[in-house]
Chains A and B, each alone.
Chain A
Amino acid sequence: MADFTLPSKFDRMIHQPARLAIIAVLAGCESADFTYLLNATEINKGTLSKNLSALEDVAYVEITKGYKGKIPNTSVKLTAKGRRAFAKYRRQHRRFIDSVG
Chain B
Amino acid sequence: MDESLDFEELTRKTRRLDFEDGLTDLQVSAIFLVMSLGAALFFSTAGLTWLTEALILQREITLIALAGIFGFFMLVAFGSSRLIARVRREYFWKDRGEIVPLPWQADSWVNVLAAAVFLVLMIFGLWVVLRGGNDDEAIMRLLIAGSGVVTGIMYLGMSRSIRLNRYLPVGIVGGLLSGALFFIPLTFSESWLAFGAIWTTTLLVSGLYALRRTRRGMAEANHG
Q: Which A residues fall within an 8 A CB radius of B?
A: 17-18, 20-21, 23-43, 68, 75, 90
- Whether A36 pairs with B98 at a CB distance below 8 angstroms is yes
By a CB distance below 8 angstroms, the chain A residues around B3 are: 17
By a CB distance below 8 angstroms, the chain B residues around A42 are: 1-2
Query: Which of A24, A29, A68 contacts B8 (CB under 8 A)?
Result: A24
CA distance A29 to B12 in the complex (A): 10
Q: A33-B97, A33-B98, A36-B99 are in contact. Are A43 and B7 (CB under 8 A)?
A: no
Per DSSP, chain A at the interface is helix
CA distance A20 to B102 in the complex (A): 19
**Which A residue's beta carbon lies closest to that of B10?**
A24
> How many residues belonging to B are interface residues under a CB distance threshold of 8 Å?
24
Nearest chain A CB to B207's CB is how many angstroms away?
Answer: 20
B5 on the A face (CB < 8 A)? yes
B100 on the A face (CB < 8 A)? yes
**Which B residue's beta carbon lies closest to that of A38?**
B97
**Which A residue's beta carbon lies closest to that of B2?**
A42
Q: Give 5 CB contacts A-B under 8 Å.
A: A24-B5, A24-B8, A29-B102, A35-B98, A39-B96
CA distance A28 to B1 in the complex (A): 19
- Whether A21 pairs with B97 at a CB distance below 8 angstroms is no
By a CB distance below 8 angstroms, the chain A residues around B89 are: 68
- Whether A32 pairs with B15 at a CB distance below 8 angstroms is no
CA distance A95 to B85 in the complex (A): 39
- Whether B102 pairs with A25 at a CB distance below 8 angstroms is no
- Whether B99 pairs with A29 at a CB distance below 8 angstroms is yes
By a CB distance below 8 angstroms, the chain A residues around B96 are: 35-36, 39
- Whether A25 pairs with B101 at a CB distance below 8 angstroms is no
- Whether A25 pairs with B11 at a CB distance below 8 angstroms is yes
B213 on the A face (CB < 8 A)? no
Nearest chain A CB to B120's CB is how many angstroms away?
Answer: 30
CA distance A20 to B8 in the complex (A): 10
**Which A residue's beta carbon lies closest to that of B101?**
A29
By a CB distance below 8 angstroms, the chain B residues around A32 are: 14, 97-100
B13 on the A face (CB < 8 A)? yes
B103 on the A face (CB < 8 A)? yes
Nearest chain A CB to B103's CB is how many angstroms away?
Answer: 7
Query: Which of A28, A33, A35, A43 contacts B12 (CB under 8 A)?
Result: A28
Q: A21-B10, A24-B8 are in contact. Are A30 and B97 (CB under 8 A)?
A: no
Query: Which of A20, A33, A41 contacts B99 (CB under 8 A)?
Result: A33
Nearest chain A CB to B95's CB is how many angstroms away?
Answer: 8
CA distance A62 to B133 in the complex (A): 58
Query: Which of B7, B12, B17 contacts A21 (CB under 8 A)?
Result: B7
**Which B residue's beta carbon lies closest to that of A31?**
B100
